[in-house]
Structure 1
Amino acid sequence: MSIKVEDYYSRDTFQRMKTFADEQETPFVVIDTATIARAYDSLGEGFPFASIYYAVKANPAAEIIRLLRDKGSNFDIASIYELDRVMGEGVGPERVSYGNTIKKSKDIRYFYDKGVRLFATDSEADLRNIAKAAPGSRIYVRILTEGSTTADWPLSRKFGCQTDMAMDLLVMARDLGLVPYGVSFHVGSQQRDIGAWDSAIGKVKVIFERLKEEDGIILKMINMGGGFPANYITKTNSLETYAEEIIRFLQEDFSDEMPEIILEPGRSLISNAGILVSEVVLISRKSSKAMERWVFTDVGKFSGLIETMDEAIKFPIWTEKKGEMEEVVIAGPTCDSADIMYENYKYGLPLNLAIGDRMYWLSTGAYTTSYSAVEFNGFPPLKAFYL
């Protein structure tokens, strides 16, 4: 396959990033903050009534936090460490949601003492911890969704609960002195099926109606999580199309009684802003008659490309070499047999690609630096530069 850079970046943006990259030693990722700013603005234009909570786990760089802070973003936080980082950049607690449903009681109290009053939950034990450590806080319950077959990076099994339990938890929240505030879901990261939101919103509507009719609880918020796609090899609909359809789903179910809507984008905001640059370390064949080459590069699963696990996320790869293409296996540099990015999905790279050539992994702004290992095989964490 031949990757066209212009399908992913404007000519000026790519040239600016590449000019900078050519002066750096691999491996590293370079991220264009202007691209992030445009993505944030586009999301706001698509969902003008929604509150955006950036999922910090996607890339916790101070440069990104400051940019989004100044644009008015809120922040979805997964740990006390992320909270310290975000609040250290001047973000107030009213702009924070503790979105992790798996948390220690002492961490709940830490958030509460810092002023945070919005918490996610999906279990009775966690809810009781919140009631003790963060009394009077607003609660939203995460439900299970069925987007696992159409999302490139599914999230449905570990987090969330069934609809009946969600209703029980919201009633319990009221009885424990908490504020039953809303319902959340996540249709899966890099979700290509817009219909997944329709199904999830339909479940939420049932919860809203039944709690109002049977328990007198009026919920006020829907947290629709993330899932909006980045631009990888497998094409998706535009953000505009996603927005139009999802708004239609909301209007069909809630008409004039639209609750507060929260979005938690991560990948869709920053993936397309990044280019990871690596160098070819070795090219070999496993036998004299082998039909495919192995291309070993100086980044791998443990240095930022863990989302290639099970070949889930297929990053576009561009090189300066041109000409005849040949199918290859692409692997990382570590002494671990799991450090193979692509073997079943056959990438084509130029036949004249040589040791020392650079590989440009496009759309790698999200979940690369934050997934990079500290010192596996002694390799340092992935370097990052922000333009």
Structure 2
Amino acid sequence: MTDFPWRGAEYGRLRDFLDSKNLETPYLVTDPAIAADRYHRIRSAFPKAHLFYAVKANPEPVLLRALAELGGSFDVASPQEIDMCLGAGIPASALCYGSTIKKPTDICHAYDHGIRLFAFDSVGELRKLAMYAPGASVFCRLLVDNTGAQWPLGRKFGCPPEMAVELLDDARQSGLTAVGVSFHVGSQQLDPSSWDRGIQLAAKTFYESARNGLHLELLNLGGGFPARYTRAVPSIDYYANRIQRSLRLHFGDAMPTVMLEPGRYISAEAGVIRSQVVLVTRRTPADDRRWVYLDIGRFGGLPETEGEAIRYPLVTRHDGCPAGPVILAGPTCDSADVLYDKAGYALPLALREGDHVDIISAGAYTATYSSSGFNGFPPLKSYTLERSTAIHIGLQPPGNSRT
């Protein structure tokens, strides 16, 4: 189904864990060493940028501590994520509140704990920040096209440059420190040129703000850098070269301070979900495709299979044997709980009930999505490797993880 290098040495610790444990499925296991490698790669590609890992991708404390030890900062989007970071020993000075939708109590929680960098994109949010985070540094999120992203993030966030100019000037007059702008080109962005459109809008905002006497200095390019799933993606160095070229074109010698918020790129390939086959069947004897039902579905940690957007590599013990086309579905009684129908997945004909199906490159946006317990199925269990052992983190309250 894929040429993902799952048998390579890099994934040896994850394979050893899966082979040596007899744990109830489904569960996610994350190797922070792989996440650290991806951090090193993006740091090398963007040596002058400030890296803020998007905590929402995978907030396992062991992983957060590993990235903090490498000098990473963190993008948080809720009081709970703030507490997770603080509980992992990360100082508030390394946190940025990147959500543009916050309750007054959320802002107070962040400000009271020492966070001084916030995002906004509306008058209402600006008013709250001026009241509950006086003197804080703020940047305004721009609305940009998400074409090319497999998981778009458009429409809900951002404003046009002309509105951003007014908001930033208003922020300055409200006693806040207006430092710059941000944008996000969408998650799993496969088109490196997408950043050029955002950079062009940002440069326009910088220029118009300067005409108002406000000299901005921060440009947050967001995340969007892709992980490898069932297809190869451009290297992070290729993205960096394209982005640097665009920055030179639109900013010239007046280069801003660059900030990045990678999430998926760092943690996706660091995790694997072990699932189990619940049922293999055909709707009619003439069906050429089998239905394969797993004990995990869209409501249990795989919501990004909606629209078959994110296509995970799958591994079974029968790989290499004759295979046939399948429809993959989850275990719940909701008919929307179908993972892949049109993507052309094929699995070994020998696959049977009780066999394991390992879902590769699943370390981002899986366990964090599985919190509802729909149909009574519990949230996805989570384990994190540390040195040569495994730490069971699960969904413990912040600061109370079992280590």
The answer to whether residue 300 in structure 2 is matched with residue 314 in structure 1 is no
Q: What's the offset of the Cα at 1:39?
A: 0.5
| Sequence identity percentage | 45
Q: Secondary structure at the match of 2:96?
A: strand
Deviations along 1:322-355, one digit per CA (max 9) or x if unpaired, are 3222111000111111111011222111122111
Deviations along 1:298-318, one digit per CA (max 9) or x if unpaired, are 111111111101111111112
| Paired position in structure 2 for 1:125 | 124
Counterpart CA distance in 2 for 1:59 and 1:16 is: 18
Gaps of 5+ in 2: 386-403
- Distance change >3 Å, CA 353–CA 9, structure 1 → 2: closer
Q: What's the offset of the Cα at 1:24?
A: 3.0
Counterpart CA distance in 2 for 1:239 and 1:329 is: 33
Q: What's the offset of the Cα at 1:374?
A: 4.0
Q: Given residue 289 of structure 2, which amino acid in structure 1 is its aligned partner? A: E
Q: Secondary structure at the match of 1:39?
A: helix
Q: Secondary structure at the match of 2:166?
A: helix
Within a 5 Å distance, the mapping from 1:168-187 to structure 2 comes to: 168-187=166-185
| Paired position in structure 1 for 2:68 | 69
The answer to whether residue 105 in structure 2 is matched with residue 112 in structure 1 is no
| Paired position in structure 1 for 2:59 | 60
Counterpart CA distance in 1 for 2:305 and 2:178 is: 38
| Paired position in structure 2 for 1:255 | 252
Q: What's the offset of the Cα at 1:10?
A: 5.7
| Paired position in structure 2 for 1:28 | 27
The answer to whether residue 151 in structure 2 is matched with residue 153 in structure 1 is yes
Q: Secondary structure at the match of 1:346?
A: coil
Within a 5 Å distance, the mapping from 1:294-313 to structure 2 comes to: 294-313=291-310
Counterpart CA distance in 1 for 2:10 and 2:222 is: 29
Counterpart CA distance in 1 for 2:115 and 2:28 is: 33
Q: Is the 8 A contact 1:65 1:89 kept in 2?
A: yes
The answer to whether residue 181 in structure 2 is matched with residue 191 in structure 1 is no
| Paired position in structure 2 for 1:208 | 206
Counterpart CA distance in 1 for 2:141 and 2:51 is: 17
Q: Given residue 295 of structure 2, which amino acid in structure 1 is its aligned partner? A: D
Counterpart CA distance in 2 for 1:277 and 1:356 is: 12
Q: Is the 8 A contact 1:374 1:381 kept in 2?
A: yes
The answer to whether residue 378 in structure 2 is matched with residue 380 in structure 1 is yes
Counterpart CA distance in 2 for 1:8 and 1:107 is: 42
| Paired position in structure 1 for 2:82 | 83
| Paired position in structure 1 for 2:395 | none
Q: Secondary structure at the match of 2:287?
A: coil
Q: Secondary structure at the match of 2:169?
A: helix
| Paired position in structure 1 for 2:271 | 274
Q: Given residue 111 of structure 1, which amino acid in structure 2 is its aligned partner? A: A
| Paired position in structure 1 for 2:288 | 291
Runs in 1 of length 4+ with deviation above 4 angstroms?
none
Q: Given residue 266 of structure 2, which amino acid in structure 1 is its aligned partner? A: L
Q: What's the offset of the Cα at 1:16?
A: 2.8
Q: Secondary structure at the match of 1:35?
A: helix
Q: Is the 8 A contact 2:35 2:267 kept in 1?
A: yes
Q: Secondary structure at the match of 2:15?
A: helix
Match of 2:220 among 217, 223, 227: 223
Counterpart CA distance in 1 for 2:105 and 2:31 is: 37
Q: What's the offset of the Cα at 1:32?
A: 1.4
Greater alpha carbon shift after TM alignment, 85-94 vs 188-197 = 85-94
Q: Is the 8 A contact 2:300 2:373 kept in 1?
A: no
Greater alpha carbon shift after TM alignment, 72-81 vs 243-252 = 243-252
Deviations along 1:28-67, one digit per CA (max 9) or x if unpaired, are 1121111111100111100000000010000111111111
Q: Is the 8 A contact 2:60 2:384 kept in 1?
A: no
Q: Given residue 136 of structure 2, which amino acid in structure 1 is its aligned partner? A: S
Q: Is the 8 A contact 1:27 1:277 kept in 2?
A: yes
Q: Is the 8 A contact 2:2 2:231 kept in 1?
A: no
Q: TM-score, normalised by structure 2?
A: 0.92
Q: What's the offset of the Cα at 1:72?
A: 1.0
Q: Given residue 130 of structure 2, which amino acid in structure 1 is its aligned partner? A: A
Counterpart CA distance in 2 for 1:181 and 1:367 is: 30
Counterpart CA distance in 2 for 1:205 and 1:11 is: 43
Deviations along 1:137-157, one digit per CA (max 9) or x if unpaired, are 11100001112x310000011
Q: Is the 8 A contact 1:53 1:76 kept in 2?
A: yes
The answer to whether residue 96 in structure 2 is matched with residue 97 in structure 1 is yes
Q: What's the offset of the Cα at 1:373?
A: 2.7
Gaps of 5+ in 1: none
- Distance change >3 Å, CA 10–CA 40, structure 1 → 2: farther
Q: What RMSD, in angstroms, separates the aligned Cα atoms of the two structures?
A: 1.2
Counterpart CA distance in 2 for 1:211 and 1:134 is: 22
Within a 5 Å distance, the mapping from 1:340-351 to structure 2 comes to: 340-351=338-349
Q: Is the 8 A contact 1:3 1:318 kept in 2?
A: no
Counterpart CA distance in 2 for 1:175 and 1:307 is: 41
Q: Given residue 358 of structure 1, which amino acid in structure 2 is its aligned partner? A: H
Counterpart CA distance in 1 for 2:298 and 2:256 is: 41
Greater alpha carbon shift after TM alignment, 250-259 vs 102-111 = 250-259
| Paired position in structure 1 for 2:391 | none
For this pair of structures, how many residues does the alignment match? 382
Counterpart CA distance in 1 for 2:162 and 2:55 is: 30
Counterpart CA distance in 2 for 1:170 and 1:177 is: 11
